[in-house]
Amino acid sequence: MASSPLFRFAVIADSHVNPSEQDNISPFESHRLTNERLRHTVAMLNALAPAFVVHVGDMIHPVPEAVSYPQAVRQFRATMAALACPVHLVPGNHDVGDKQADYVPAGAIRPEYVELYSRHFGEHFYGFDRQGCHFAVINTSLINSGLPQEREQAAWLEADLAAHAGQRIFLFMHYPPFVATRDEHGHYDNIDEPGRSWLLDVVERHKVAAAFTGHVHNFFLNRHSDTNFYLMPSTAFVRADYSETLHVGQPPESENGRNDVAKLGVMVVDVHEERIVTQFLRSFGGGSDRSAAQRDWPRLPPSAGELPAPGVELRHGWTVLYDIPYSSMLDEFWRKRARNDYPILALWEMGVRRLRVPLDDLLDAGSRARMEAVAEQGCRFAVFHFGWPDEAALEVVCRHRHLLDGLELVLRWPPAPDLEARLAAAREHAGVPLVLSRFWNASGESRDGKQIKLLVDHGFTVDDELPAASAVDGLVFRIARGTAAREGVARAAAAAEGRGLRAQVHVRLADDSPAQARHDEWSNTCRVLETALCSHFHRGHRIFLDTLGDVDRGYFPRTGLIDRRGNPRLAGRALRNLNGALSELPPVRALDWHETADGVLGVARAGDAVLLLPLPEAPGRAWQGMMPGRPDRYQGYRVDLGTGAQTEVEGDADRPIHCEAGEPAMWVLRPVP
């Protein structure tokens, strides 16, 4: 079961409240919904019950020179009055004026705007405390402004952080210091020099635990020294210029990316003794998707200890910098750069903490920096390499072993006679668990119209003659799409255990043919859930789903856990909610699978609870069956794995359990004495 945090707080950003429901102060239809979307966000926050909320700026849309500014403030105040916990406000550029720069589109901060903000919202910079942690708020529009308040804020921040040395310090601001790289040029979305270097130096010297910013209306993760910067999505709309970081065009109904509602929501931060765990909860803008606020999923372990959820393969580039076109909107005169960090957000959201990547990622300094930032959340990497890595590569592995779950070597077969000695030397040098995989290829000539096969892959099958290598910690097993995950994982685990090793199991979502698409989302969802439950049961082994994101071009096309926009598919939502539900229960200690006329039923036991995971054969078919053992009475709850909604259930020996067609669900039931 997941340990309880010391406390929880939430962060929201860029609500851009309108002066009234009827105001047409933006050419975008989605902008007319910002007030309603903040009301929905408040309802979500009340359901989450954090100790407090921090709004990191742009509370309202009218800028200080607009006559509707006071009216928008009243609208914001009226909406936030429904919040059941304290809220701390951070000045945004819409609230207090843009940063001081020649190229900004609205009025820059000036003394009368400083006074206007103070009158309507309160302090510009201040601190507060909670259970041994210190929280500091600053006004980034003041930085580089030359106003007297800039010097006052700088002196206050230095003194405030020094006074709280030894505590965990959290910093909140509106403008991020940078969007992609520490040395990027100044643009609309960052803090210009020399203020940027000053602020980053303060953060480094005072060992700030985490910093949260707004302004960009998209999620980005950056790291400076030992501090993660979380650039927050909006509750209102997406900054569509950053859609260029995505791998697919935007549908018309999304207003070219601005109304991509899956990217709206709140960040929940659980503060534990040893680390903080951030989770993004999607609001979907409210409306018909209000069920998203019903439960707080997932509730996940806080550390990198035992991680029962399956890992994923990161086949797509996840550290790539994209050039954002100059847009005739906010940045017209030069390019800016950004990454697509939505896959990272989705991984945290689903409870995935093991990631498989090539050794190249660890050897590259830029990618390694991204690995450091992700590892702060408890993620660990399984790195793989074809052939034998050289001494320099093994030195890098050893030096960064805190990031790693193991080193996987893919070798040609049959191996050389000195395999055992070379494996032992590599493991000692690397200082991490060593896992062995077998390279294989399929090739042949076309005869009588038969297809030519030109494929490479790796991994043992349970029917192979497995090596008796004592110098490794585990063996890699490949589970083809045609093999049921439950069968493949169980056989691989047994084969490895018979040799005193752990299994690293790669469950393919792709077909065995590079030309055959696997776009049946229901079938993929069932395979993912089946794999996940096996992973929670076979806790001593490593199970990976291949792949995180959709592959919609090239070879082996298939859907994954997220689509090309970084938004969760049904399989991703179901995995998230299954991991969240299981994290509230004792470990799964027994697991059986039953094939029925309607599909497959997974029956697991966790403590005194019986878990039922029915996987109907097709989304158009319902599943119906009886509680195992047919107790006189049972009670518990049903988790809708699509939304996370939970409903209480009870029944008796003669009442069947019914699963609606196409709705993944899990029952947690206990017999009633």
Q: What is the pLDDT of residues 589-602, one digit of tens each?
A: 999 999 887 789 89
Q: Which of 295-299, 304-308, 461-465, 518-522 has the largest mean confidence?
A: 518-522
The yes-or-no verdict on residue 302 having pLDDT over 70 is: no
The whole-number pLDDT of residue 402 equals: 96
Say how far apart CA 639 and CA 646 lie, in whole Å.
Answer: 5
Say how far apart CA 644 and CA 254 lie, in whole Å.
Answer: 25
Please report how the helices 69-80 and 111-120 are oriented relative to each other, as an axis angle in degrees rounded to 10.
Answer: 30
Say how far apart CA 608 and CA 1 lie, in whole Å.
Answer: 14
Tokens of 141: 């529009």
The whole-number pLDDT of residue 129 equals: 97
By mean pLDDT, which of 39-53, 82-96, 309-323, 615-629 is the weakest? 615-629
The average pLDDT across 27-43 equals: 92
The average pLDDT across 336-344 equals: 95
The average pLDDT across 43-67 equals: 95
Residues ≥6 apart with Cβ < 8 Å to 648: 635, 636, 637
Q: Smallest Cα–Cα separation from 669: which of 615, 608, 625?
A: 608
By mean pLDDT, which of 73-87, 202-216, 463-477, 551-565 is the weakest? 463-477
Say how far apart CA 198 and CA 309 lie, in whole Å.
Answer: 41
By mean pLDDT, which of 555-569, 579-593, 618-632 is the weakest? 618-632
Say how far apart CA 611 and CA 636 lie, in whole Å.
Answer: 10
Residue 3 pLDDT grade (very low, low, confident, very high; cuts 50, 70, 90): confident
Task: Let me know the angle formed at the C-alpha of 597 by 592 and 603, rounded to the nearest 5 degrees.
Answer: 20
Percent with pLDDT over 90 in the chain: 73
The average pLDDT across 304-318 equals: 84
pLDDT in tens, 450-482: 665 678 889 998 888 888 778 999 999 999 999
Percent with pLDDT over 70 in the chain: 93
* Mean per-residue pLDDT over the chain, rounded: 91
Q: Which residues in the chain are classed under CATH 2.60.40.1180?
A: 589-671
Distances in Å between the alpha carbon of 56 and those of 9, 18, 77, 101, 234? 13, 17, 15, 21, 10
Element (H, E) at 361: helix 359-363
- The amino acid sitting at 226 is D
By mean pLDDT, which of 135-139, 448-452, 454-458, 527-531 is the weakest? 448-452
Q: Smallest Cα–Cα separation from 458: which of 473, 484, 486, 478?
A: 478
The average pLDDT across 433-438 equals: 96
Say how far apart CA 280 and CA 269 lie, in whole Å.
Answer: 9
pLDDT in tens, 258-268: 999 999 999 99
The whole-number pLDDT of residue 109 equals: 96
Q: What class is the 342-584 domain?
A: alpha beta
Say how far apart CA 208 and CA 563 lie, in whole Å.
Answer: 34
pLDDT in tens, 171-187: 999 999 999 999 999 99
Q: What class is the 13-293 domain?
A: alpha beta
Phi-psi region of 327 (alpha: psi -120 to 50; beta: other; left: phi over 0): alpha
Q: Which residues in the chain are classed under CATH 3.20.20.80?
A: 342-584
The yes-or-no verdict on residue 634 having pLDDT over 50 is: yes
- The CATH code for residues 589-671 is 2.60.40.1180
Residue 25 pLDDT grade (very low, low, confident, very high; cuts 50, 70, 90): confident
The whole-number pLDDT of residue 291 equals: 45
The yes-or-no verdict on residue 305 having pLDDT over 90 is: no
Return phi, psi of residue 516, to 5°. -95, 120
Q: Which residues in the chain are classed under CATH 3.60.21.10?
A: 13-293
